[in-house]
Structure 1
Amino acid sequence: MKILLTGAAGFIGSHLTEHLLSMGHTVIGYDNFDNQYDPVRKHINIHFLTTHPNFTFIQNDIRDQASLTDVLRQYRCDTVVHLAARTGVRDSVREPALCIDVNVNGTLSLLEAMRLTKVRRLVMASSSSVYGNSSAVPFREDDDANLPLSPYAMSKRSAELLAHTYHHLHGFDVACLRFFTVYGPRQRPEMAISRFTEKMYGGQPITIYGDGSTSRNYTYIYDTIMGISRSINHLKGFDLLNIGGSGAVKLSELVGIIEQAVGRKAVIDWQPNQPGDVTLTSADLHRANNRIGYLPSVQIEEGISRFVSWYRQTVLCS
């Protein structure tokens, strides 16, 4: 396949690029190196891939429809994987207009470029945040997802609806993948596991919002990449799929697992709950298993151990 991958230099995107190239695909990476976190990290993410004969990288913004159209046409792409986004619930509360512009208008720009070039295969990243504070646990893809708690959640749900519109009007094959807190090597620095690990090694307090009872379904990067890869191979019609880990973990338990891997006790700075945060995410994976054969394989203890080992060798020793 010839795959246009937006957000190719990010955490998930760089891992996916590496995997797709290893499977023999041609990848056209597309990323604008925005400043939501240090762009140097993104350059490092893909630097070792830039000499691969089947990889081409283009630096630009997904809101540039003309550029996307030219890229799809020039490289004769047959599939698009759309990961580029303005990420994070708290950042979206601070900058809602930017979040919605990138995530909604950027997705529309991509869909229009695909329509104009007759590319009809799309796998795109959504988020577990679309479920809000659903009382139905675990979260199923056919649950109501119309009460978002943050601009980020709203933008991701809006992108899903846009994709469905293009499926209906123009015959796109679409899989919207609802990711559940992805972690592992190269994870974004503002995310809890990265931040906690950094603070513990530095002997600094970690900030916990709430009483530590909130729970998340954490998904190791390998499992997420397998979910995306399987979705590409089984792409047909329109689908919403949860791509999550094997179960929900309380924040207080997560801290304990990281403490054990790091070998240090955390000093905790307790703060009130943050606006837009949900209390629980929990993935029902039956549909993903039935449709694409997805099952997570990395348990949280093993995943944290791998992440901390990578952090120790790559970040602390750099």
Structure 2
Amino acid sequence: MDLILKRPLAMIHQLQRQHSFLTIENVKQILDETVLFLNTTNNRANGLHELATICHELASVHMLIPFDNIEIIKHEFFIILGRTFEMLLSKARLISMTKADEQYFYDLSYFIVNLCLHKNIAASNFFIANNEKLNPNNEEKYDPVSYQKIFFTKSFFQKFIKIITHDLIINDYQPFHVKYKVTHSLLRLCIELNEIDHSLLIDPIIQCLNSNFYLNTFKTIDLRQAIFNPKQLFFICECPEFIIQRCLKQQDQLSNLLCLPMLEYSRDILRQHLPVSLEGEDLENIVCIRGAKIQAISLHIKLLNHFALTPATRRYFIIGM
């Protein structure tokens, strides 16, 4: 390891052993030295390895505490991180990744998701911040810096959409493949975040639900599987949840597009999973041992209920197909 990076990593490890929090000064020093290394190294592979190593170390719960500081959010490190992650999004779609690249891909995504979920906007006094935001004179200039603005760029969405539409609904991978791990966590993050353009993801998610992968993923749920694997999380959990939570303005249009295919899928899904989920054991054991099957049925019924509450498609649940 380069001597430049030994100091920040040693600092992180020492604080971890002492169960201490990183201070703002600690974080700035770590990021400064990491950027210095990344800007001076001639070995791209080595630079990616070191960037992923720093992200992995910083992603622990204790390490996230100081990242909501405005000086930290604006640091050049996060610009480099965002661009590198976009490069890996493209690489994951276009060429086979090595095991090392897959680990880097996961480590960077995990750190980004945690930053956006837990430390997205710089901390400030609640009353002062809200008064400034509500002041009409500040309407144009009040645009707080955030991690989602750094990472969720137009370029990011283009690459994220392509890995869905040009890869995941075309090619089949092992259930725990890193592409499913990364995309399901990114889609979950998009559902949670408010100030992004959710409309960009509507067509890709519709394609996922209309693809064979949605129904076929139900067929992969094992009888005694307790929780979903990453592939099941993406297709069965996150894609329907995105439609329910983030497409209210297009609810009638999307319900018309998806209702009949989902009702058609219901026959196979309920025929396969419902009898097996309910037979034999008492309720407590069923939920514990067959949790994935029960959750899958519940999520599909939740999506159907969303369509049933939509005026445009309610008739299908009253008069039948």
Q: TM-score, normalised by structure 1?
A: 0.27
Relative contact order, higher structure (CA 8 A, sep 6+)? 1
State which structure, 1 or 2, has the greater radius of gyration over its C-alpha atoms. Answer: 2
Q: Which has the higher helix share?
A: 2
**TM-score of the pair, normalised by structure 2:** 0.27
